């Protein structure tokens, strides 16, 4: 990767590598994974995506064979604050609320101005994945998924990238195009 964000991304990658290496008491390498559907594989490194919060904690998405889901990690205290797994049963189309992620493989993380953590999940197949919202101070996770009968739902359930913009919208890159969600109204366009 090159460009203005490359140095920041490399710095974050190096901080996460150090935090994980200290925690697991051994070397850990963070890999920037660029997905290409033809190259999908089940062998992933220990850490795939991360998001550092202002309080110095990290949300880390894992997609290894024995560790799937999301962890909230305190780098200072070197401890896991929370581990969130995924639902065992397909949550169905549209919007739902639960306590687990819509899918075991997180691909994208973002935080919006209200403090919500957004997790994009997925894998090959039309039913796999979704967008997950974790609100601060709540044990509930709001899940957004493609609904073929609703044009105002996600275009696809496999979420590759999330990007908040200056207008308080969260842009969503899916396996079938772009969309955005307004975190205030939770309307998808």
Share of the chain above pLDDT 70, in %: 72
Q: What is the mean pLDDT of the chain?
A: 80
If pLDDT is split at 50, 70 and 90, which confidence band does 39 have?
Answer: very low
What per-residue confidence (pLDDT) applies to 6? 53
Q: What is the pTM of this model?
A: 0.76
* pLDDT of residue 145 exceeding 70: yes
Q: How many residues does the chain have?
A: 189
Q: Which of 110, 111, 86 is nearest to 98 (CA)?
A: 86
Location of structure tokens 């490194």: 45
Tens-digit pLDDT profile for residues 62-76: 876 566 789 898 888
> If DSSP states are collapsed to H, E and C, what string results for the chain?
CCCHHHHHHHHHHHHHHHHHHHHHCCCCCCCCCCCCHHHCCCCCCCCCEEEECCCCEEEEEEECCCCEEEEEEECCCCEEEEEECECCCCCCCEEEEECCECCCCEEEEEECCCCCEEEEEECCCCCCEEEEEECCCCCCEEEEECCCCCCCCCCCCCEEEEEECCCCCEEEEECCEEEEEECCCCEEC
95 in Cβ contact with 186 (< 8 Å): yes
What per-residue confidence (pLDDT) applies to 23? 54
- Coil, strand or helix: which one is 149? coil
Tens-digit pLDDT profile for residues 59-111: 988 876 566 789 898 888 888 899 999 988 888 999 999 999 999 999 999 99
């Amino acid at each position: 990767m090159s460009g203005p964000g490359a140095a920041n991304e490399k710095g974050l990658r190096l901080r996460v590598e150090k935090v994980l290496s200290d925690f697991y008491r051994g070397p850990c390498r963070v890999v920037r994974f660029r997905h290409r559907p033809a190259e999908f594989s089940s062998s992933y490194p220990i850490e795939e995506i991360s998001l550092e919060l202002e309080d110095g904690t990290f949300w880390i998405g894992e997609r290894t064979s024995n560790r799937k889901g999301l962890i909230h990690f305190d780098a200072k205290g070197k401890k896991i604050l929370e581990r969130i797994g995924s639902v065992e049963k397909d949550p169905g189309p549209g919007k739902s609320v639960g306590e687990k992620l819509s899918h075991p493989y997180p691909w994208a993380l973002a935080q919006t101005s209200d403090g919500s953590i957004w997790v994009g999940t997925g894998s090959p197949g039309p039913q796999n994945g979704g967008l997950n919202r974790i609100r601060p101070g709540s044990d509930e996770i709001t899940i957004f998924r493609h609904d073929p009968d609703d044009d105002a739902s996600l275009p696809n359930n496999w979420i590759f990238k999330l990007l908040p913009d200056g207008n308080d919208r969260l842009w969503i890159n899916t396996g079938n195009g772009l969309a955005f969600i307004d975190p205030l109204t939770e309307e998808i366009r």
